[in-house]
Amino acid sequence: MDILNPDKTLRIALIAVGIVYTVGLYPLTLIWPDGFMWMPRQAEYEQMILATFAVLGVFLLLAARAPAEHRSLIGFAGWSSLVHGLVMLVQALRDPMEQANFFGDIPALIAVGAVLLVLNRPAVTPAAG
């Protein structure tokens, strides 16, 4: 088993992120609301964002079957997670009530974005010659 195989590593990352996005975010909001929710709480917004992430998670799980065929979806998931985390970082810097998010959803989204973007590179094939 070659753990450094980029395709295999990307598949593992897609499965992990897909599971967390699909079924893991809601429990995180219950276990540590300060780290994974924003104040004031808005039930309608929370339901919308959790549903959106759940759908993305399902598609990431499907993409894990053949990542090379889903590079644009993986790129979208990476960039949208990274940008989402960076926007929240700026917002939390401006609002002292959101400092717990520095240790919850902000680093999680930035890490997910960075990992997906780094791992989503096409495999390099040796030049024929």
Residue 29 confidence (pLDDT) above 90: yes
What is the domain range of residue 16?
Answer: 6-119
Amino acid, res. 66:
A
Distance in Å from the first CA to the final CA of the chain? 30
Domains in the chain: how many in total?
1
Q: Is residue 129 part of a domain?
A: no
Task: Say if residue 102 is exposed, middle or buried (CB neighbours under 10 Å; 0-12, 13-18, 19+).
Answer: middle
Mean pLDDT for the chain overall: 92
The answer to whether residue 1 sits within a structural domain is no
Q: What is the pLDDT of residues 50-86, one digit of tens each?
A: 999 999 999 999 999 999 999 999 999 999 999 999 9
- 59 assigned to some structural domain: yes
Confidence (pTM):
0.87
Give the whole-angstrom CA distance, residue 33 versus residue 20. Answer: 16
